[in-house]
Chain A
Amino acid sequence: MPILVNLDLLLVKRKMSLTELSERVNLTMSNLSILKQGKAKAIRFSTLEAICRALDCKPGDLLDYEPDTEELKKVG
C-alpha cells in the first residue's frame, strides 16, 4: 500500500512508548500495532485526531504517500 504510517518515528521523537500512547488515545495495543506495522486498511478521523493530539503532530506527520512503483509501471 503506498500510504506509509510513521507512527514508530513519531513515538521515538516524542520518547513515548506504544503502551503509553494506547492509554492516552484509548485504543487497544493490537489496533495500534496494526497501524504501526502498516497493516491497517482504514483509519477513522476520530482515531487520527486522538493520535495527533497525543503526539502533538499533524496528520501529514503521521501519514506519508509513496507511489507504488509497480502500480506506476502499470499506469505507464
Chain B
Amino acid sequence: MKVIGKKSVAAGLKFLINAAWYIQMAAFSLALCVLVYVSIKSDFIGSDIPVKLREHQTIKGIVSNSADLWDAQLKLSEGVLHVKTKLSWSMILLMLGQFACIAALSLTVTYLLRKIFATLTGSDGSPFIPENAARLRKIAILIILLAPLKFVNNFYNFWLITTSFRSKENNFTPDLKLDFQTVLIGLVLLVIAEIFRMGTQMREENELTV
C-alpha cells in the first residue's frame, strides 16, 4: 500500500481534509448565524452539562436558587443536566468568545494540515521542509491550547451547578473534567515536530555535502 505520493493514503487524507475545511467553514458560518439569531430572538438558551450520577437513579426534584436559571432537567441515561439559562449580555459575549476561539483553533489546524498534506502528494513528494516542521509545531501548540479552553467551559458549568443547584436527594455532582488526553496528544505532537525539524536539518546537510 502506497502511503505517500499520488493515489496513496496521503492523497485520500488530503481529499478528506480539504472536504473538512469547506464543511467546517460552512458549519461555523451556520452556527454563528444560529447563535446570533438565538441571542436576538430568545430569552434563554438550553445546554447540556455533564454530571456524575450517584447510585440512586430516581430524582424527586432539582431546586435552583438562581434567578438566571429557568428550568433544569436531569437526563439519567446521558448523564447530563439539561439547563435553560437566561440570556444576558455577559453570557452572549462568553458564548461568542468561546465560539470564536474554537472556530479559529479548528480552522487554523485544518489550514495547516492542508498545507502539510499538499507537500505529501506533490510532484517532488518531499515533506522534509522547514515549513512543515514549523506547521507541525503550530498544530501541537494549538492542540495544547484547546485543553484550557475546554477547561474554562467545564469550570463555568461547574460554577453554575455548584452555585445554582441543589438536588433534594443529592444524587448528582458536577463533573469538572480535566482534559489531560488533549494536552498529552499536543505534547507528543510537539516532540514529533522537533524530530521533524531535526530531520529537515539532516536532509539539508545531506544535500549540501559534496
Contacts and interface: CB of A to CB of B under 8 A. Distances in A.
Interface of A: 27, 31-32, 34-35, 39-44, 47
Contacts of A41: 204-205, 208-209
Interface residues of B, number: 5
B210 interface: yes
Contacts of B209: 40-44
A12 to B, nearest CB: 20
Nearest to B209: A42
A63 to B, nearest CB: 12
Most chain A CB within a 10 A radius of its CB, from B205, B208, B210: B210
A27 B209 CA distance: 12
Contacts of B208: 34, 39-42
A30 to B, nearest CB: 9
Interface string B194-206: 0000000000110
Nearest to B208: A41
A39 B205 CA distance: 10
Nearest to A33: B210
